[in-house]
Every structure is written in structure tokens, then in C-alpha cells.
Amino acid sequence: MSKWGDLENLTWDDLKETTWSEVRLGDVVNINKENIKNTFEGKILYVDISSVESGILKGFTKYNFKDAPSIARRVVKEGDIIYSTVRPNLSAYYKFGNNIPNNIIASTGFVVLSKKTGTSIDYIYYLSITNSFVDHISQIAKGAAYPAVGIEDFKNIKIQIPDLKTQEKIA
């Protein structure tokens, strides 16, 4: 069984009768649902872009929030996906599992994708790490030295999505 489910047993016959819909990414996931409040007092586990590479989280930096970088703002919860909007061609993305600490904060250089009812966040992650997705966001990035994808551009990315049962089979 692979990380994404038993894909070896998923056949074209399983998918050929499936109805696919083209939707905006922002319609099927929450994007940047929560930012940490400036009044927060306590320690955080900060994730910056250099800490993430192709689905691998290399570590956190611990800070008292008051001493953290000003870009330490994105609240991360169980199952969330973080995806770098800066230099998206470098594939800085990661999906958090269950039982994570409740004080993980990501840089504003990430978008945080969170599950919405009726959508498999694992399917969204699987889709978002495909070459075609990475190529697309790299093409819509703006800027020369530090190309970046705007939040609205990210929300407006068109994706193909099947029903929830099929999403779960794929993921």
C-alpha cells in the first residue's frame, strides 16, 4: 500500500464512469483560514520556506512569539497543507498529519490549505504535487528575482475534481 492508498488496484474502469468537475481551488479548500493574533503570548514552532522541501519538513525553529519573525503568522492545524507561494518551482510543500502540536506557525510565504467538507485534503495534496500543478503555478508566478503566486491567483487555480468517494480512492 502506497502513501496515497492502494493505487495499484485503481484501474481505468474505476474512473471512466466518474464525473469530474472543474472548480476553483478556493472553492474546495480553505486558504489561509487563520492567522495568529498579535496578542498571542507563548512559544511557537515556526516553519519557514527553507524548512520545507518536496513533502519533507526538515524542522521547526522555536520562538517566543514576541521574538518571532514578523512573517510568522499562518496557523497550521492537523491535515493542513503548506505550499510556498514564493519560487513555487522549488516545490516547497508539506502535508501535516494528525497529532501535531497546536502551536505550529508558518511563514506568510506559504498558503495554508485546509479541508472543507466534501473534499479529501489528501486528494488535494496528491494533485498539488503533480508536475502539471507545479508547472502551472510556476507559470502564473509574478516577479523576476523572487517570483511569487498571489493568494487570489492561488484561489483561482482551476482543478479537476471527482466525487468524494473517488477522491478518497485516488488519494
Total-model pTM:
0.89
pLDDT tens track for 60-84 = 999 999 999 999 999 999 999 999 9
DSSP-assigned letter for residue 24: E
For the chain, the domains span: 30-151
pLDDT tens track for 132-155 = 999 999 999 999 888 999 999 999
DSSP-assigned letter for residue 35: B
- Given a contact cutoff of 8 angstroms between Cβ atoms, the answer to whether 52 and 94 are in contact is yes
Specify the fold of 30-151: Adenine-n6-DNA-methyltransferase TaqI; Chain A, domain 2 (3.90.220)
pLDDT tens track for 14-47 = 666 788 899 999 999 999 999 999 999 999 999 9
